[in-house]
Structure 1
Amino acid sequence: MKRIVIIGSSGGNLYNLGGKDPQKLLREIQLQAGSAGIEIAGVQFIAAEGSMDTAGGKTEAAVYSWKAEAGGIVVAFTGTLEECNQYVQSTDAELARQLTDGLVDGLISMSADPNGTNAQVVAAAVKKQIPIVGTGGTSMALISAKGANVLLTSGTTGTTNRTRAISFMTAFAKKWGLSYRPVIGEGKGTGTDTSAGSPWKRINIRGIMMSSLPGFIALALILALSKIPGLDMLSGVFDVLIKALPVVIAAIAAKQVSDMEEVSVVAGVLAGILSVDGGIIGGMIGGIGAGLLVNVLFRTCIEWKFPTTTVNIIAGGVSGLIAGLIVYYLLAPVALQAGEWVKVLIEGAVSYSPILAGLIAGLLIWPAIIGGVYHAAILPIVLLEMEKTGNSFLGAVDMVGLVMVSAGITLANMILPRDKSEATVAAPGFLINMGFGTFVEAAYPFMFSNKLVFAGAIASAGIAGMMVGVFDVRGTAYVPSVMAPLLSNSMLGFIAAMASGLICSLLITLIANQIAKKKAVQQADGKASA
C-alpha cells in the first residue's frame, strides 16, 4: 500500500475555500485516499483562526497531526501562530526522516512553507524525488524551483475540498497505476465505500423533486400574497419565480448527480438558465446532464494535468454550458410539451367529472404513499401542476386526504385512545400535521393496528377528495393548515374539504377505538371468569 504525508496550512486564499474548517478539509483527503488504497502516514497542518494573508504571530492557531491509534486526524497542539510554527519545526525532522528512510511514497502540500516551517520535509522529498501534488501558487512555485518531482500543481482559486482531494488522488493513482474511483458523500468511515461512485446511480427523480419542493411552496406563497389588495404588484414576482423554477431543479439535479460541491452547483445553475424554456422537465434534464458532464470533464482534465483551478472552471462552466445548450436548442420544446401533456391529462380528468376525479384520487392516495408510489409519481405531477398555476388539484387532495386525515386519526387517539400511552404517541403527529402540513406517517401505527381505522382513513380521504372536486379546489400541502386555504383558489371550498377529511377520520377512529376497548374489556372478563 502506498503511503503519503500531508503538510501545509489553512493558507490565505485557501482559508476561504475550505481551510477554515481543517477537519473537513483533511477528512476529505482521507476519504479519497482510502478509496484509492493509499494510506496516510503523517499530517503536519497548521490551521489559523484567520487568513494567513492577515494573520500575525499572535493569531490563535492549532496543529493537526495523524494518530492512527486515535483513529486518524487529531489536534496535536494549540497556541498562537508563532508557537504553532515552532512546534511544527520540532516535528518536521521526524517526518523528514520517514521520507528519507523510504517509508513515504508521496507528499501533499497545501499552502506549505518550504523555506521555513516545512523546510526539512520538503528538502527530504526533493532529495528522494518523492512525487508531490499540491495547491498554493507561491508555495508550489518555491517547491518546484527546488527541483521537486511535482505531479500536480495549482493555485487555490476556484477549488473546493472535494475537487482538490480528488485531483490529488487521481494524480497519484495514475502515477502508481492504482484503481481509483472518487467517493461521493461521506462514505463509511474509512473512505472505502465507492458504491455511490457512478453518477448514473445517483440520478433520482424523486430526490430531486423533494429537494426542490421549497421553491414551489415559495411560489404558492407569492401567489397568495399577490391576491391581497394592495399587493397585486407581486404578480410580477410570481412570473419571475415561475421562470426560476427550472434553475432550482437544475442546480439540485446537478448537485445530487455530481456532488462536487460548488462546482456542480455552478454547472447546474448555468444549465438551468439555458433550460428555462423547457420548464421544470427541461431544467431537470439540463441539471442531470450537467452533473454527469462535471464528473467526466473533471476527471479528463486532471488526467491531462490541467491546473486544479482550470479543472474547476472547465468542469463547472463548460459542463453547464454544454448541457444547457443541448436543452436550449434541442430538447426544450419536447420537455415543455411533456409537462403540458401532464397538465392537460389532469385537467381533462377534472373537466370530465371533478367529483369522480377527486373521489378516485382520494381513495388511491393512501395506498400510493404506503406503497411508495406517492413520492415517485404523484409528487412530480403536483409540482408540474404548480409550475403552471402555483397550486394543484392533486396538491389539494394531498392536504385534505393525507394531512387532514392523519390529523383526524391522531386527534382521535388523543381524545379517546385505546391505551393511555397512545395519546402521548399521537400528540406530536397531530401538532406537526396541523402546524407544518406534513408527517402523515404519524397515523401509521394506528392504521396498521386496526383494520377499521385503516379503512376509515381511505374512506375519509375519498370523501375529502370528492369535496375537492365539488368545490373545484386547487391547493398544496407542506404548509401550516391555517395557511393552506390562503394558498388555494377557493378558500371556503378548501376549508370545507379539509374539515371533511379531518372530521370523518376523527369520528371513524373514535368509533374504532371504542369498539377495540370494549373487545379488550370483554376478553379480560372472559379470562377472569375462566
Structure 2
Amino acid sequence: MSRQIAIIGSSGGNLFNLGGRDPRKLLDEILLQMESAGLSCAALQFIAAETSMDSAKPGTPAALYSWKMSQNEPVIIAQGTLEEVNKAALTLDQDIAEQIKLGEIDGIIVMSADPKGSNRQAFEAAALHKIPVTGTGGTSMAMIQSRGVHVISASGTTGTTNRTRAVAFVTSLCKHWRIPYRPVIGGSAAAAAQSGSQVSPWKRINLRGIMMASLPGFIGMALILAASKIPGLSSLSAVFDLMIKALPVILAVIAAKQVSELDEVSIVAGIVAGVLSVEGGIIGGMIGGIGAGILVHYIFRKCVEWRFPATTVNIIAGGVSGLIAGLFVYFLIAPVALAAGEGVRYLIETLVSWSPAIAGLIAGLLIWPAIIGGVYHAAILPIVLLEMERTGNSFLGAVDMVGLVMVSAGITLANMVAPRDKGEAAVAAPGFAINMGFGTFVEAAYPFMFSNKLVFGGAIASAGLGGLLIGLFGVRGTAYVPSFLGPISSNNATGFLFCMAASLLCSFLITFFVNKMSLGRRSKQHNLEA
C-alpha cells in the first residue's frame, strides 16, 4: 500500500517569486515526483494569493486549492479575498487534522504554511502522531519545529525551483521510509519510466540536439553582422565581437540544461561553466556544459540524500558543478578544443581553396541527399556553426541557402504558378512564404520532389549550380534568415544575391516545364479517352 501524503501551504512571500504565482505548475511538479516514488496524495490545502504574502492584504484576491479524489487532481474550492479564503481554509485544516488522527496520512509536505492560523489543527495532530514533515519556508518551518512536529528536513525557499523543491521533498520522505526513488525529469512518472527519462545523464548527451538548440544564438550574431554593414551602424561591429565570445556560453547553458534537466539550477551551472570555457570556443563551451550538467545531476541528488537544506542544495549543485566543469575546461581542455575547432575550419578552407568551384559543386549536389538522409543536422550543421564562430558566416551556410532554401522556394513557386492540380498551389504557397520569409522549411518541396523524379533531379541540379556559383564568387553566408537578409549578412552581397537568384530560377524553370509536360500528357490522355 502506498504512503499517503498531505500537501499543505501557500503561495508564500519569497516562494511567490519562485513558482508560487503559478500554483498548478508548482503542485503538478510535486505530484509528479510523488507518483514516481509511489506516494499518493491524500489531502491538499494550498492558499494561492495574487501577490506575495509579504505585501498581501486581507482584500487581496486569492484561491483555495484542495484535492479531488474522484478526479485525482487539485481543484479550486473557494475564491475571493484572502481573508475569505483563509476562513474557508480552516475547514480543510480540520479535515486534514481528522485524517491524521485516523491514520490516513503518513507524511506531510509543507510550503510557507501558517502553523498559528489556517494550518494550526493539522500541525497539532502531526505533532501528536509523530507524522514526518518536510518543507520549505524559513519562518514557517521554524515555527512548526518549535511546536514539536517531527520535521525530517527543512529549508528556506531562496534559490529553489519547483523541481528542486519537489525532488528534495520526495527524497526526504523516501529516505525516511527507505523507499527507492529516482527523480522524474519530465512528463508523467509512468511515461518517464517507459521512455527512459530517468536514465543516467550520460545517455541524455545529444550533440546534435545541443547544436540545434543553440542555432538562434548564431543567427542573432549573423543578424548583428548584417546590421553592422549598414551605413551609420558600424559601431555594431563591437557588438558582433562580443557575441562571438558569448557563443560558448550559449552552448554550455543548452548542454547543461539538456543533460541534467534541472531547470534554473542547470542553467546557472551552464553559465558558470560557459564563462570559464570561452577560451575553448564552442567545442570547449559544449564540453563544459555537458560536464556541468552531469555534475549537477549527481551533486544535487547526493546533497538531497545528505539532507542539506534546499537552498544550499541549489547553491552547491549550480555553483560548484559549474565551477568544477568550467575550471576543468579552462585549464585542461580549452587549448585542445580550440585547436579542434581551428582544425575543422582549416580543413574546410583548404578543400575550398584547392578548387572553390568544384568544392561548391560537390557540396551543392550532396546537400539534398544529406538532409533527406538525416546527415545534414548530424554533420553539416555543426561544421556550419564552427565556421560561423569565427566570421559570422560560412561556406556551407551559403550552400545551404542557395542549395536548399532557394531551390525549395523555386519548386514551391513553380507549383503556385503552374500546379499540376489546384490543390498543389494551396500546399506550395505556405512553403514558399516560409522559405523566403524565414530561410527555413526546405521540406516544403518534398511532396513535389518525391512525386516526380524529374523535379527531384532538377532540385539536385539547381543546388549543384548554386554551389558552383558560391565557389566561383567566394561567397560565405548563412541560411535560417529572411532571404533579403542573406546577401547583407554575407561577405559578398552582390555575388550571394546572384547565386540565390540563379538557384531559385533554375529550380523554378525545371519544375515549371515538368508540370507543363505533365499537364500536357494528362490532357492528351483525356482526349484519347473521350
Q: Scaled by the length of structure 2, what TM-score is found?
A: 0.97
Residue number in structure 2 paired with 1:362: 364
Q: Is the 8 A contact 1:400 1:497 kept in 2?
A: yes
For 1:198-277, list aligned pairs within 5 A: 198-277=200-279
Deviation (angstroms), 1:190 = 7.5
Of 412, 424, 427, the match for 1:425: 427
Q: Counterpart in 2 of 1:435? A: 437
Contact 2:33/2:189 (8 A) holds in 1:
no
Distance (whole Å) between structure 1 residues aligned to residue 426 and residue 368 of structure 2: 24
1:166 aligned partner: 167
| Structure-2 residue corresponding to 1:51 | 52
Give the match for residue 147 of structure 1.
148
| Equivalent residues of 2:394, 2:476 under 8 A apart | yes
- Equivalence for 2:313: 311
Counterpart Cα distance in 1 of 2:302 and 2:280: 30
Letter of the aligned partner of 2:463 in structure 1?
Answer: A
Q: TM-score, normalised by structure 1?
A: 0.97
Secondary structure at the counterpart of residue 342 of structure 1: helix
Alpha-carbon contact 1:183-1:193 (below 8 Å) kept: no
Moved more, 482-491 or 509-518: 509-518
The aligned residue for residue 197 of structure 2 is 196
- The alpha-carbon deviation at position 194 of structure 1 amounts to 6.2
Q: Which of 461, 480, 484 matches 1:459?
A: 461
Spell out the pairing of 1:89-128 with structure 2 (5 A cutoff): 89-128=90-129
Cα distance change on mapping 1:250 and 1:499 into 2, 3 Å: same
Asked if 1 retains the 8 angstrom alpha-carbon contact of 2:186 and 2:192, the reply is: no
**For the residues of structure 1 that align with 2:503 and 2:370, how far apart are their CA atoms?**
17
Where does residue 398 of structure 2 map in the other structure? 396
Helix, strand or coil: the match of 1:231?
coil
Instruction: Judge conservation of contact 2:35–2:189 (CA < 8 Å) in 1.
Output: no
Matches within 5 A, 1:6-17: 6-17=7-18
| Unpaired stretches in structure 2, ≥5 consecutive residues | none
Note if contact 1:403-1:440 (Cα within 8 Å) is conserved in structure 2.
yes
In 2, are the aligned partners of 1:187 and 1:193 still within 8 Å (CA)? Answer: no
User: Amino acid of the residue matched to residue 350 of structure 1?
Assistant: V
The residue number in structure 2 matching 1:490 is: 492
Size of the aligned set, in residue pairs, is: 528
Q: 2:274, 2:285 within 8 Å by CA — same for their partners in 1?
A: yes
Number of the residue aligned with 1:292 = 294
CA contact (8 A) 2:159 2:311 kept: yes
Map of 1:517 onto structure 2 = 519
Q: Is the 8 A contact 1:30 1:191 kept in 2?
A: no
Q: Which sits farther off after the overlay, 272-281 or 204-213?
A: 204-213
CA distance in 1, matches of 2:179, 2:525: 69
* Percent pairwise identity: 66
2:36/2:190 contact within 8 Å kept = no
Q: Which residue of 2 aligns with 1:76?
A: 77
Flag structure 1 segments of 5+ consecutive residues without an equivalent: none
In structure 2, what is the Cα distance between the partners aligned to 1:18 and 1:392?
42
* Alignment CA distance shift 1:214-1:501 (3 Å): same
Structure 1 residues 15-34: aligned runs within 5 Å: 15-34=16-35
- SS in structure 1 of the partner of residue 487 of structure 2: helix
1:187–1:194 contact (8 Å) kept in structure 2: no
SS at match of 1:516: helix
* SS of alignment partner, residue 187 of structure 2: coil
Task: Please report how far the alpha carbon of residue 201 of structure 1 lies from its aligned counterpart in structure 2 after TM superposition.
Answer: 2.2
TM-superposition CA deviations, 1:315-374 (whole Å, max 9, x none): 000000000000000000110011011101110111001101111111111111111111
Aligned residue type for 1:14: L
Alpha-carbon distance in 2 for matches of 1:242, 1:61? 47
SS of 2:154's equivalent in the other structure is: strand
Q: Write the distance in 2 (CA, Å) between the matches of 1:190 and 1:247.
A: 32
Give the conservation status (yes or no) of the 8 Å contact 1:31–1:191.
no
Distance 1:411 1:108, change over 3 A: same
Q: The residue matched to 1:24 in structure 2 has which SS?
A: helix
Deviation at 1:225, TM superposition (A): 2.5
Aligned partners of 2:10 and 2:111 also within 8 Å? yes
Q: Using the TM superposition, give the Cα deviation of residue 228 of structure 1 relative to its aligned residue in structure 2, in angstroms.
A: 3.1
AA of the residue aligned to 1:39: S
CA distance in 2, matches of 1:519, 1:5: 74
Aligned AA (2:131):
I
Q: Give the drift of 1:85.
A: 0.5
In the TM superposition, residue 525 of structure 1 has moved relative to its aligned partner by 4.4
Contact 2:185–2:192 (Cα < 8 Å) also in 1: no
Cα distance in 2, alignment partners of residues 367 and 428 from structure 1: 23
1: CA distance, partners of 2:173 / 2:189 = 22
Cα displacement string for residues 33-87 of structure 1 (whole angstroms, at most 9, x for unaligned residues): 1111111111100000000001011000001111132241111111110111110
Q: CA deviation at 1:193?
A: 5.5
Question: For 2:187 and 2:478, how far apart are their aligned partners in 1?
Answer: 34
SS of the aligned residue for 1:486 comes to coil
Q: Which moved more, 1:234-243 or 1:489-498?
A: 234-243
CA contact (8 A) 2:226 2:485 kept: no
